[in-house]
Structure 1
Amino acid sequence: MALPYEFSAKTVIDEGRTTQGTVDQIKEWLRTTTLPQVPEEMIVLFLLSCKNVVATTKATIQAYFKIKSEAPEIFNNRDIDSGDLQKAMSVVSCISIPVRTGDNTVIHFFKVTDSNYQNFDWILSMKLAYMLLDISQSRNPPNELIVVIDMQGVGFMHLTRFKIGAARKFLEFLQEGMPLRIKRIHVLNSTYVFDKLISIARVFIRNELMAIIKTHPPGTDMMQFHKECLPVSCLPKEYGGDLPTVEELNKISIQRFRELKPFFEAEEKFRSFYN
């Protein structure tokens, strides 16, 4: 079954980022499994995320379908115009930064814009976070991902609404089934709340993931952050960047989510063939 990607596997192969022979190896292996026959574009995404290591790619593809089938609350019904997702996007900004770093790394940015904990929904925020992957990968697959999370506005009461079961599935997919390699996670305005959150979810977090998390306390020198972490060309205006405001960038993400409705519907139907 074809999925409406806006790039072709051939383009990525012609760029030298993977090979047709490696893609064919995965296609041949898929025929021996009960997995859906994954289109070449999706195979390319998995190969890029696994540095073209065939064994790792196979394991990631298997995890992708298994975990998604076990967590429909996170991975299904991804219509941005539904009432619950509309509300979620008004509470938290979920942005695929439109400018990439020089090495083709994409940045996903998250910030609570409504600090009322009663309006925050962890599961819907998890769903939006993974919907961003499709924004970033639908047109031009990035090499890696940097995540920026601004904890400002997140308080202790947010933790009382934490869903440990959903968090387990979210982190399992992040570490086993996500077809994009995470390079670094920057946590801005990190306080005891983030430390407590990590302590709650630590049992599900591997050492490899912990090693790429870098916290930045309130009052961090943003000029130093620009120098050491991310350039101004890749950050919103509020963070000393050259890009529009968080609000404006969030609106762009909402529009892209809307444009990707046919993709979200097709991808969910495609996964329904998994046994």
Structure 2
Amino acid sequence: MHLLKLGFVVPEVVKKGLTTEEDIEAIKEWRKDKWPQLTEEQIAIFLIACNNCQELTKYTIESNIRIKNSGPNLFTDRNFNNENLRKISQVMTFSVMPDRYQDTLILVISMNDFNYKNYCQEAHFKLYFMVIDSIAYDNPPREAIIIVDAKGVSLMHITTIRMNLLKLHSEYFDRGLPLACREVHFINCSYALTCCFNVTKPFIRSDKLQKIHFHHGTRNDTIPETLSIPKKYLPKEYGGELKSVRYYHNRTMDKLVQMQQYFDLEEQQRS
């Protein structure tokens, strides 16, 4: 058995009713002659992300592996000591909220530095997918709500976009993500962001598109009003009762550092 371990064990998620041992065994049997071999906990994460639909789980696992192997620039050398990752962690914030709303995790993403010269698309996507892995690492949620604050995104940011990376990102979100997205909300939207999203739409299935919502305006406190999420689950910048997005971003980055062995072993598993 591969040495890769996660921060939870199967009986914990089975007890919570997130998946079943029967479903895990079925996927394990299906993969017994396939490469790479996955641990039972990895299988559980995919089952939870696919609402325990075995056929969708099989499709998502195969897509996940294929996309990761076709995009080494996003899925190899996932080390927070990487200079580009450290830099983008100062330019952007990836804030995992500490408490779950209706068994749903909330992730808030925002820009901390509006200077397009400091933005790196490749590092952004790489760090984002590392954060997604960290969400499922020790306590897989049933689903997630992702809130993206587009304040500060300009047309100059769009000029730095590489289409091949945008397509890879969209394909991974659409087909290989080990996390069920209940909703994705873009707030403080601009013309630049709309243009960027229109480019990605052809790569995203219609059922996933229905989960993506855009909210125009400049008032940061529109999150509670628009999404109807109680204030106790949101950071103070958006009218919530929690600490700042920067505080939870730092906690998230610390977790990535602690997960370095996992990232190394997961890459070895696929090599």
TM-score (structure 1 length as normaliser): 0.93
Residue 227 of structure 1, CA deviation: 6.8
What is the rounded CA distance, in whole Å, between the counterparts of 1:119 and 1:96 in structure 2?
23
Q: Which residue of 2 aligns with 1:151?
A: 150
* Greater shift in the superposed pair: 93-102 or 58-67: 93-102
Matched AA of 2:25: D
Q: Tell me if 1:20 matches 2:21.
A: yes
Q: Which residue of 1 aligns with 2:92?
A: 92
Residue 202 of structure 1, CA deviation: 2.1
What is the rounded CA distance, in whole Å, between the counterparts of 2:119 and 2:227 in structure 1?
32
Matched AA of 1:84: N
Q: Tell me if 1:257 matches 2:264.
A: no
- Preserved contact between residue 108 and residue 132 of structure 1 (Cα < 8 Å): no
Matched AA of 2:151: Q
The equivalences for 1:111-190 within 5 A come to 111-190=110-189
What is the rounded CA distance, in whole Å, between the counterparts of 1:219 and 1:249 in structure 2?
23
Q: Which residue of 1 aligns with 2:215?
A: 216
* Greater shift in the superposed pair: 86-95 or 215-224: 215-224
What is the rounded CA distance, in whole Å, between the counterparts of 1:178 and 1:168 in structure 2?
14
What is the rounded CA distance, in whole Å, between the counterparts of 2:93 and 2:73 in structure 1?
20
* Greater shift in the superposed pair: 198-207 or 146-155: 198-207
- Preserved contact between residue 220 and residue 238 of structure 2 (Cα < 8 Å): no
Cα deviations by residue, 1:214-269 (Å, 9 ceiling, x for unpaired): 11112458367347432212211111111111222211111111111111111111
Matched AA of 1:207: S
What is the rounded CA distance, in whole Å, between the counterparts of 1:163 and 1:224 in structure 2?
30
What is the rounded CA distance, in whole Å, between the counterparts of 2:231 and 2:209 in structure 1?
26
Residue 162 of structure 1, CA deviation: 0.6
What is the rounded CA distance, in whole Å, between the counterparts of 1:20 and 1:224 in structure 2?
38
Q: Secondary structure at the match of 2:110?
A: strand
Residue 111 of structure 1, CA deviation: 0.7
Q: Secondary structure at the match of 1:186?
A: strand
Q: Which residue of 2 aligns with 1:52?
A: 52
What is the rounded CA distance, in whole Å, between the counterparts of 1:174 and 1:75 in structure 2?
14
Q: Which residue of 2 aligns with 1:2?
A: 3
What is the rounded CA distance, in whole Å, between the counterparts of 1:255 and 1:224 in structure 2?
26
What is the rounded CA distance, in whole Å, between the counterparts of 2:223 and 2:127 in structure 1?
30
User: Which blocks of at least 5 consecutive residues in structure 2 are unaligned?
Assistant: none
* Greater shift in the superposed pair: 37-46 or 77-86: 77-86
- Preserved contact between residue 96 and residue 135 of structure 1 (Cα < 8 Å): no
Residue 134 of structure 1, CA deviation: 2.1
What is the rounded CA distance, in whole Å, between the counterparts of 2:259 and 2:113 in structure 1?
26
> Post-superposition, which runs of at least 4 consecutive aligned residues in structure 1 deviate over 6 A?
none
Residue 213 of structure 1, CA deviation: 1.4
- Preserved contact between residue 95 and residue 132 of structure 1 (Cα < 8 Å): no
- Preserved contact between residue 71 and residue 169 of structure 1 (Cα < 8 Å): yes
Distance change >3 Å, CA 101–CA 65, structure 1 → 2: same
Q: Secondary structure at the match of 2:17?
A: coil
Q: Secondary structure at the match of 1:189?
A: strand
Q: Percent identity?
A: 30
Matched AA of 1:188: I
Number of residues of Structure 1 aligned to a counterpart in Structure 2: 270
What is the rounded CA distance, in whole Å, between the counterparts of 1:220 and 1:118 in structure 2?
26
Distance change >3 Å, CA 52–CA 243, structure 1 → 2: same
Q: Which residue of 2 aligns with 1:80?
A: 80
What is the rounded CA distance, in whole Å, between the counterparts of 2:83 and 2:139 in structure 1?
30
What is the rounded CA distance, in whole Å, between the counterparts of 1:40 and 1:232 in structure 2?
36
